[in-house]
Structure 1
Amino acid sequence: MGKKYPVQVKVNGKEKFAEVEPRLLLAHLLRDEFNLTGTHIGCDTSQCGACTVMLDGRAVKSCTVLALQADGAEITTVEGLGSKEELHPVQQGFWEKHGLQCGFCTPGVMMAAAGLLQENVNPTEEEIRDALDGVICRCTGYQFIVEAVQHAAELIREQQKQTSSLENVTAGGDE
């Protein structure tokens, strides 16, 4: 057993600490140390994207990041997107538009989609397909996934309109 080093990260809004070997991958830290098994490991070679998480606001494949590189970072896993009571728009889109089949790749696809929609709430189909290019789904032809992301984008835009209208009313604007 090699020397271990401290790592402190904020995962899904909670501070987490671990002592890790320098070779430990972020995917394994999340799964094995923090028991966040929604981050799937499909290939361990960065080809499949099943391990995609948000790292400081960017979608990354967690099998390509050493745990030590994430020290001090803010991480969101699929478990942190939403809750059973209040689904994230991406989760709602996948639910309503049947954007999954076996479900193995789904956490990675959702995180890649969330990364896209954080940057662009009105993506074209081509932009969605480009953003999801690094995540492999072996069960489907991606059409339902694309439709789920398009629906999630609609839900986000609706939420933004409602928030904007509410802010306008509370600020004394048009009622």
Structure 2
Amino acid sequence: MVSPFSHFQRLASVGLDAKNTVSVWDWKKGKVLATATGHSDRIFDISWDPFQQNRLVSCGVKHIKFWALCGNALTPKRGIFGKTGDLQTILCVASAKDDVTYSGALNGDIYVWKGLNLLRTVQAAHGAGIFSMYACEEGFATGGRDGCVRLWDLDFKPITKIDLREAEQGYKGRPQEPGLTTSSW
């Protein structure tokens, strides 16, 4: 698994080895900048924080980790669930301004993190696991096992729901490239 490229020509990857090794690459030079043990359980997503150039977030089976890259050292810190939410398998992550991270859980909840701490939970955002999440200036888009794509405002109040199971041939957005559709909100 690889993360999208950072704005600083770096790439993060997760190995399929027993340690789920996290590596940061200088992709132009084809060199590894840093590596670290990812987690004892499977990692499902890893993403650069676009607002903090040396910060990565990874998530997986009953964990979320916030990574700091300093030179060739990659240091993880586990997210603290506290009493705000249940320890869940986290399937996807998206970062926002002000050290805020959003994650989609296996049970369909969205977790909102501030730093390492779980701040609040958006319960039952989807009827089942949330596999993808995208953050932008206008809000968020999430996709879940329930067959729905949901658009949210910046406070995670619902804007619209697109149930792909009810559309004969999927949702017809505005084609950008073959096989790619978008929607405006």
Q: Which has the higher contact order (CA 8 A, sep 6+)?
A: 1
User: Greater CA radius of gyration, 1 or 2?
Assistant: 1
Q: Which has the higher helix share?
A: 1
Report the TM-score when normalising by structure 1. Answer: 0.29
Report the TM-score when normalising by structure 2. Answer: 0.28
